[in-house]
């Protein structure tokens, strides 16, 4: 491939559009989720059918559209018109033959496999705009959807300050957790040390929150958007080198990003004298080992430098002294993914979306007790109720919504009395939660909030780097107190000590990991204190989750003496004769629950 100039971007776009003009397209979801669900044989089956039947159609691999429970997904676009598209879900090789014969060959949609949901109706896709619509391994596909036009625009303007002002005026805040102004971060890196001999642009792609996969989806579905955005950032602050810190547990993201960087270099979109502007910028990938603490900016930079990933005190902040001691900016993948559209469509367009202080959209990984799991991108200001019931399809099995955890192990829970809160940075903080990177875990009436707090704290204890005592020791002591409560040995004094220790950890830890680690504990205790008290005072788990606080009992009136539970019990804790009520020996019972499963017909065994 040869270097391309600005004019050739339009030529490539027209060429791709001409190739697809009037042609039927088959888009197979080929991100990690799709591949794991069986997308590979589906892609091969469509290609084989088209070849065997001499069909002039385009069969393409693409990224994830976000509707996880319907994977593998296949979208068929007729006549090259996205308005004439049909989305098929839960596909397999046998269904491919039926769909291909009916839809591709005869033009008849196979309705029984069509995904019918309002999942996408209220979404506004900016960061995810190309995921599911282009082949992420083909640079021409990205160029065909205005890729690299934003980079060409800023380089032709010759005004880095104007670029920074556009980003500031858009109101874009960092999507990685803290919500700091992106434009202000760039301005500080440009102005604090204006005569620095080197500056750096970094990307945090070390997505570590449990249940979060927003950045992975963008990397797997639209890697060139990140490359273009980082080059724009480099031009804005005066940097010539960028680093993408990417966790090694994302092998497909690594592969596609490597392909994309290679293609960008071949076309002259990375490297020397980009678009003949005199601007040089290059990118490298640095693989992380999955340490959650490396999501903290100073720890991430230390890791890029080849050292153990541990945070450093601030100030100085990275804008003054960051990677290799030079001025540095760090944003996450989703933040960068917004940049090209902001440059092309303007700050007024972006700031027209969202709320007064939280502009644009936010991507959430919707998981837990929800019918429609997956990725959603919504305008800031949408209510939690809309996300759960309109986009998410509600709670499975008619269960009652109890709470939603936002911000992962650094965030807090939103109880049912706040379900109509408008989602933005400030509103969530005002109720003891936070936006975080975008994990949104829904819980129903069967979730124990003490157990959930323990779950998140177990994660942060495991991920603490150990550098500072408040985090290393404090979180461990906090977890021990929660374990004491869930085992039935807690006291009312423990509740006060939990709150006191949590505040100490928050105020004295070195970095954001320790400073936010107690958040789920404090938030869940604040919203569900009655559950904590029940565990301590009554020695009961209201949700019947904490094993040490539940018992399995046989209701004599319902027991017919079939002996199935007795025979299946792994520790011989059940006694009784044929056709007579059985009894569970509580001293022997290990509370495995297999007896309940074996008695579904008579429902004679209960958990209380």
Return the H-helix or E-strand segment holding 418. none
Q: What is the per-residue pLDDT for 337?
A: 98
361-444 and 449-536 agree in CATH topology = no
Q: Any idea where the domains of the chain sit in the sequence? A: 8-62+74-113, 139-351, 361-444, 449-536, 551-607
Residues 6+ apart with CB under 8 A from 230: 201, 203, 242, 244, 281, 283, 336
> To the nearest whole percent, how much of the chain has pLDDT over 90?
92
Q: In which band, very low, low, confident or very high, does the pLDDT at 404 lie, cut at 50, 70 and 90? A: very high
Domain range 551-607, its CATH number among 3.30.420.40, 3.20.20.70, 2.60.40.10, 3.30.70.20: 3.30.70.20
- C-alpha dist (Å) from residue 162 to 157, 166, 173, 340: 9, 6, 18, 14
Q: What is the per-residue pLDDT for 83?
A: 64
Q: What is the CATH number of domain 449-536?
A: 1.20.1440.230
Sheet strands (E) in 74-177: 74-77, 85-88
Q: What is the per-residue pLDDT for 602?
A: 93
Residue 370 has pLDDT above 70, yes or no: yes
Q: What is the per-residue pLDDT for 451?
A: 97
**Whole-angstrom distance, CA of residue 343 vs CA of residue 404:** 34
Class of domain 139-351: alpha beta
- Measured at the CA of 456, the angle between CA 455 and CA 459, to 5 degrees, comes to 95
**Whole-angstrom distance, CA of residue 405 vs CA of residue 435:** 10
* pLDDT tens-digit map of 538-596: 999 999 999 999 999 999 999 999 999 999 999 999 999 999 999 999 999 999 999 99
Residue 1 has pLDDT above 80, yes or no: no
Residue 498 and residue 521 in contact, taking contact as beta carbons nearer than 8 Å: yes
* pLDDT tens-digit map of 88-125: 999 999 999 999 999 999 999 999 999 998 899 999 99
Q: What is the per-residue pLDDT for 290?
A: 87
Q: What is the per-residue pLDDT for 603?
A: 93
**Whole-angstrom distance, CA of residue 310 vs CA of residue 466:** 8
Over range 50-57, report the average pLDDT. Answer: 95
Over range 227-247, report the average pLDDT. Answer: 98
Over range 333-356, report the average pLDDT. Answer: 97
Residue 345 has pLDDT above 60, yes or no: yes
| Topology annotation, domain 361-444 | Ubiquitin-like (UB roll) (3.10.20)
Q: What is the pTM of this model?
A: 0.94
Q: In which band, very low, low, confident or very high, does the pLDDT at 21 lie, cut at 50, 70 and 90? A: confident
- Structure letter (DSSP) for residue 399: P
| Topology annotation, domain 8-62+74-113 | Glutaredoxin (3.40.30)
* Angle, helix 182-191 to helix 160-170, in steps of 10 degrees: 150
Residues 6+ apart with CB under 8 A from 580: 561
Residues 6+ apart with CB under 8 A from 255: none
Residue 268 and residue 295 in contact, taking contact as beta carbons nearer than 8 Å: no
> b vs e for 343-368, b when ≥16 Cβ sit within 10 Å of the residue's Cβ?
beeebeebbebbbeebbbbbbbbbbb
Q: What is the per-residue pLDDT for 437?
A: 85
Locate 372 and state its tokens.
């429609």
């Amino acid at each position: 491939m040869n270097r391309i100039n600005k004019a050739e971007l339009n030529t490539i776009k027209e060429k791709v559009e001409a190739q697809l003009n009037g042609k039927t397209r088959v888009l197979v979801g080929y991100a990690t989720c799709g591949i794991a669900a069986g997308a590979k044989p589906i892609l091969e089956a469509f290609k084989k059918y088209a070849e065997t039947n001499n069909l002039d159609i385009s069969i393409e691999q693409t990224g994830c559209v976000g509707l996880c429970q319907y994977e593998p997904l296949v979208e068929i676009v007729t006549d090259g018109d996205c308005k004439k598209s049909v989305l098929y879900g839960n596909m397999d090789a046998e269904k491919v033959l039926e769909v291909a014969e009916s839809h591709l060959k005869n033009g008849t949609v196979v309705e029984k496999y069509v995904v019918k949901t309002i999942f996408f109706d209220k979404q506004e896709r900016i960061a995810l705009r190309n995921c599911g619509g282009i082949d992420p391994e083909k640079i021409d596909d990205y160029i065909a959807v205005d890729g690299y036009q934003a980079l060409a625009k800023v380089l032709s303007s010759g005004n880095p300050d104007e670029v920074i002002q556009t980003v500031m005026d858009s109101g874009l805040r960092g999507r990685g957790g803290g919500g700091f102004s992106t434009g202000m971060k760039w301005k500080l890196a440009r102005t604090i040390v204006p005569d620095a001999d080197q500056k750096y642009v970094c990307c945090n792609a070390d997505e570590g929150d449990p249940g979060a996969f927003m950045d992975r989806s963008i990397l797997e579905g639209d890697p060139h958007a990140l490359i273009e955005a980082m080059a724009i950032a480099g031009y804005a602050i005066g940097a010539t080198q960028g680093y993408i810190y990417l966790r090694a547990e994302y092998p497909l993201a690594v592969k596609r990003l490597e392909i994309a960087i290679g293609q960008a270099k071949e076309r002259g979109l990375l490297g020397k004298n980009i678009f003949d502007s005199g601007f040089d910028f290059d990118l490298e990938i640095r693989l992380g080992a999955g340490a959650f603490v490396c999501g903290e900016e100073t720890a991430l930079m230390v890791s890029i430098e080849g050292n153990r990933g541990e945070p450093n005190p601030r100030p100085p902040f990275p804008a003054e002294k960051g990677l290799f001691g030079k001025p540095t900016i760090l944003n996450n993948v989703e933040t960068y993914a917004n940049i090209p559209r902001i440059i092309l469509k303007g700050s007024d367009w972006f700031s027209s979306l969202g709320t007064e202080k939280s502009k644009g959209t936010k991507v959430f990984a919707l998981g837990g007790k929800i019918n429609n799991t997956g990725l959603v991108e919504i305008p800031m200001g949408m209510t939690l109720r809309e996300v759960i019931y309109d986009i998410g399809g509600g709670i499975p099995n008619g269960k009652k919504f109890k709470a939603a955890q936002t911000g992962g192990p650094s965030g807090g829970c939103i109880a049912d009395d706040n379900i109509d809160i408008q989602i933005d940075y400030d509103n969530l903080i005002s109720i003891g939660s936070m936006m975080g990177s975008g994990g949104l875990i829904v819980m129903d009436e069967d979730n124990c909030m003490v157990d959930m707090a323990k779950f998140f704290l177990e994660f942060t204890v495991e991920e603490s780097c150990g550098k500072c005592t408040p985090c290393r020791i404090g979180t461990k002591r906090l977890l021990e107190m929660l374990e004491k409560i869930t085992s039935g040995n807690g006291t009312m004094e423990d509740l006060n000590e939990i709150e006191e220790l949590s505040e100490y950890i928050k105020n004295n830890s070195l970095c954001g990991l320790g400073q936010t680690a107690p958040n789920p504990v404090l938030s869940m205790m604040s919203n569900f204190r009655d559950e904590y008290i029940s565990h301590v005072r009554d020695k009961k788990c209201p949700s019947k989750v904490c094993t040490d606080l539940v018992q399995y009992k046989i209701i004599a009136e319902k027991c017919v003496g079939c002996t199935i539970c007795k025979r299946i019990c792994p520790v011989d804790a059940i006694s009784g004769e044929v056709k007579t009520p059985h009894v569970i020996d509580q001293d022997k019972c290990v509370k495995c629950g297999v007896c309940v499963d074996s008695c579904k017909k008579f429902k004679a065994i209960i958990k209380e």
